[in-house]
Structures are given as structure tokens and as C-alpha cells.
Amino acid sequence: MNKAIITLTKGGMKLGLKLLNSIDQAVLYVHPRFYMECENIKKIDGKMTEFIGKIFHKYRCLIFIMSTGIVVRAIAPYIQDKKTDPAVIVLDERARNVISLLSGHIGGANDYTKKIAKMINANPVITTASDVNESIAVDTLAMELDCEIEDFYDATKVTAHIVNGEKVGLISDIFIDKEMPLNIIKVDKENIDDKFKGLIYISEKNINKPIGIDCVVLRPKNIILGIGCRRGKTEEEIINAVEDTLNILKLSKKSIKHITTVDVKKNEEGLIKAAKVLKVPLIIVDRKDIKKVESQFEQSEFVKKQIGVGAVCEPAAFLTSKAGKMLQKKKGYDGITIAVFREGE
């Protein structure tokens, strides 16, 4: 379950049941007075503010059917950061209005609000400036393109320029099949002038930002690291090798989509911990799949005798990169090998 519907009244419960039957992955919390034993219906446990504290980060979206004032007071102690706070939506029990209250862009509250309003024929209330002006915020753009924002303060400044109708340049190393507001203009690095109030870079590469223009960098998740290692290599050794590789290639750590290795290394503690430090998945590739493509890469007879395939990092990265482009052939780091691919389209 990733959505919680919360209500305190009998009328709110009636609307809550309607939503519960229409929304996937949802649970309904009701006041104990109106509780009925039914699948996906639970009691509100204890005082409202304390109860919200227990569930605030348990769900991706909290849908309240009650007064906005009650909701604001209940969630206030637990609001931390728009990068991690859940979407919060408020409905009146007559189903007249659906209000996007918190995490409108990154949390998805604006999209949830529109969907719920359409579902129950209500009025969607969205107050974020980019939506009101039918423009786009940098965090929304990043989410739609599956990019990570390098600096949220920079994103806020550039979003302000977009919403104010000022000229913003877009410099992208990835293909963007999306219609942009008229004041966001696709340019290359050589055509930047002082007419631009802001710049959006979308790249996995290190960026030298021009002075005097507000800039934000969005990192696409398109770098695949194939890693092979001797048994017992530590998390620190692997991370150091990864960082050295990225520095040489002038690539951002934030653009790593995943690291990948062969099935015999799936329980290698150093690799597992390194993936957690990098906050990326560890993708395991079966040897039978590597055998199908290993002839395309340099092989080691020693490795073949040990594990049955003559190459690990290059074929593993190739197979999990949608036949992407190799940016670095196998490079050795004292018992660790790393190959780098840029994901294919």
C-alpha cells in the first residue's frame, strides 16, 4: 500500500470508501466510532497528531477528508524536505474540492489531485505558480525526464525565471521529446548570451557554469558501471575505484543508474555495500547471458577457469545498458575491474 485515506466523520468515511474502491494501493483510516471490519480499513490509533507521525513517511500519498486546518496542524511537526515528504491532499466530505497541499511536484500531489478530482467530478485546487501559469517547474521537468537535481536552491531560482516569463536556456546531452514553454529555448554552449536569465543543463558530465547566470544541473540516470572484483574487496576499495573512474571521465556520481556484475559475485559484501553507499541498484547478470556476448570483449583465461566466463565488467555493463555506448573499457584497480557504458536510447 502506498496511499492512505484518512477521515474522522461518517460523511468522510462514505467518501473514503468510494475512493478506496477507485484508487489502487490504498488503505482507509477511520475514526474508531465508524470502524467496520473490512479489508484495507483500519482504525485511527490515538490522538490525530501522534497518529500522523506514525504514518507520515509510511505512504507516498496521504489523502485527508477533513478540514484543511486540522490537516495543517497534524502534519506540521513532521514536514522536513520536499525531496522526502509525501504528497498531501485534502478533500471536503461533500467532494466539492480536492486541494494539493504538500509536495505538489516531486511528491506528485498535483497529479494525484487532478486524477482524484476527475474521478469524483470535483474542483482541483492547485496553487503552485508553474501550474497556475501553465508553465513548468524545474523539479517537475527533472521528474518527467527521470533526472536528479544537483542543487535544489539552484532549481528554485531557475524555476522563478521560467514562471516570470524570462528567457531560460536548455542545454541537454539527452534527447528530449517534450514540448517546452515558449520561454525555455534549446541552445548549445556556444550560443549563451546575457539575454538568458537562467540555464538548465541536462548532462552526466561535469559542468562549468557560466558566471552571472542562474544555472541548475539535472543529472540523467544513464551511466552503467560494470564491476568485477576479487573475493573480499571492501566497500571502500570499490568506492575509491568508482570515484577515480568517474573523475577521469569527468562524470557525475549522481548519473549512475546502477552497478552490475556476474551472478557468482551476487553475495560479495563489498559490492553490496558499495551499491548502498552509491544509492543505486546492484544488477546481477547470469553467466549464461554473458557467454552469449563475451566474444565481443577482451577475455581472461584465468577468469574463465575460475568462474566459467572470460569477461565480467564489460559484458555485464553492455547487457544492462540497452546496448549502450562504451565510455571506458575494462580498467583495473588492484583486484577490481570497472567498465563504463552510457545507456542506449
Residues 73, 91 share a domain: yes
**Is the same domain home to 121 and 28?**
yes
CA distance 322 to 342: 9
User: Does 30 reside within a domain?
Assistant: yes
Q: What is the CATH number of the domain that holds 9?
A: 3.40.50.11220
Name the CA dihedral angle for 35, 36, 37, 38, rounded to a multiple of 10 degrees: -110
Q: How far apart are CA 62 and CA 46, in angstroms?
A: 18
Compute CA distances 215 → 159, 211, 313, whole Å.
Answer: 10, 9, 35
Q: Among 89, 107, 127, identify where a domain stops.
A: 127
Instruction: Name the phi and psi angles at 114, rounded to 5.
Output: -60, -40
Same domain, 7 and 121: yes
Rounded distance between C-alpha atoms, residue 274 and residue 240, angstroms: 10
* 165, 102: one domain: no
Query: CB neighbours (10 Å) of residue 344?
Result: 12
Are residues 193 and 257 both part of a single domain? no
Residue 32 confidence (pLDDT): 86
Domain contains 38: yes
Sheet holding 223-229, edge to edge: 282-285, 256-262, 223-229, 336-342, 325-332
Is 133 among the domain residues? Answer: no
- Cα separation of 339 and 285, whole Å? 15
For residues 267 and 305, membership in a common domain is answered with yes
Single residue among 105, 127, 149 that ends a domain in this structure? 127
Spatial distance between the Cα atoms of 223 and 256, rounded to a whole number of angstroms:
5
Residue 278 in grid coordinates: 552509491
Residue position matching grid coordinates 532549481: 155
CA distances from 105 to 151, 195, 238, 324 (A): 16, 28, 35, 31
Length of the chain: 345
Q: Which domain holds residue 98?
A: 3-127
Q: Please say which residue of 97, 127, 157 terminates a domain.
A: 127
Residue 170 counted as domain residue: yes
Q: Do residue 215 and residue 227 come from a single domain? A: no
Tell whether 209 is covered by a domain: yes
Q: Are 117 and 155 in the same domain?
A: no
pLDDT, residue 179, reads: 86
User: Cell numbers of 241, please?
Assistant: 575505484
CB 91 within 8 A of CB 67: no
Is residue 254 included in any domain, yes or no?
yes
Give the pLDDT of the chain (345 residues) as one tens digit per residue. 799 999 999 999 999 999 998 988 999 999 988 888 778 899 998 889 999 999 999 999 999 999 999 999 999 999 998 888 999 999 999 999 999 999 988 888 999 999 999 999 999 999 887 777 778 889 989 988 999 999 999 999 999 999 999 999 999 999 888 888 899 998 887 677 778 899 999 999 999 888 889 999 999 999 999 999 989 999 999 999 999 999 999 999 999 999 999 999 999 999 999 999 999 999 999 999 998 998 898 888 887 777 878 889 999 999 999 989 999 999 999 999 999 999 987
What is the domain-level CATH number for residue 275? Answer: 3.30.420.180
The total domain count for the chain is 3
Instruction: Confirm whether 242 is domain-assigned.
Output: yes
Per the domain annotation, does 201 fall within a domain? yes
**Residue 305 CB contacts under 8 Å (≥ 6 apart), including other chains:** none
